[in-house]
Amino acid sequence: MIFNIPQFIDKEDKIVGPLTAKQLGWLALGGITLLILWATLDSQGFYISLLPVIGISVAFAFYRPYNQSLVNFITSSFLFFSHNKVYSWKRLPGDMTPVKKAPHKNISQQDSKDKMNTKKIGEISKLLDIKTKN
């Protein structure tokens, strides 16, 4: 059986033209707010409140700081500034074992091991080359 596998699962679906459902919702909320302000305020008050409402609704719909929605960014910022930032480390009872120091090795012993390892690696690579040519 052949199954269709979704490919772009991290992209939101486009509902109306290039707009997603969230973007359409934010723009509709801005439009409803403008409609309520137009019905309740006089013309001068409406024109004064027009630009901020449009700006806020467009920002919530399209602006994505650090590749996340503006709502998530504001929520994360609020949580960052309102929570404590001091972390005190508490040792668990299972971690109470003493730490042993690593034994000190001479540099000359380590160099000979490195040379031996390069020789072994060269021999193994020759064996592999011989087997792949056959």
Q: Annotate 17-84 with DSSP letters as a single string.
A: TTEEHHHHHHHHHHHHHHHHHHHHS-HHHHHHHHHHHHHHHHHHHH--GGGS-HHHHHHHHHHHHHS-
**The tokens of 46 are what?**
């409406």
CA distances from 32 to 1, 38, 39 (A): 49, 10, 11
| Residue 16, pLDDT score | 86
| Residue 51, pLDDT score | 96
How many Å apart are CA 8 and CA 118, to the nearest integer? 46
Q: Which residues of 33-47 are buried (b: 16+ CB within 10 A; e: fewer)?
A: ebeebeeeeeeeeee
User: Higher-confidence residue: 128 or 64?
Assistant: 64
Confidence bin at 58 (pLDDT 50/70/90): very high
Confidence bin at 6 (pLDDT 50/70/90): confident
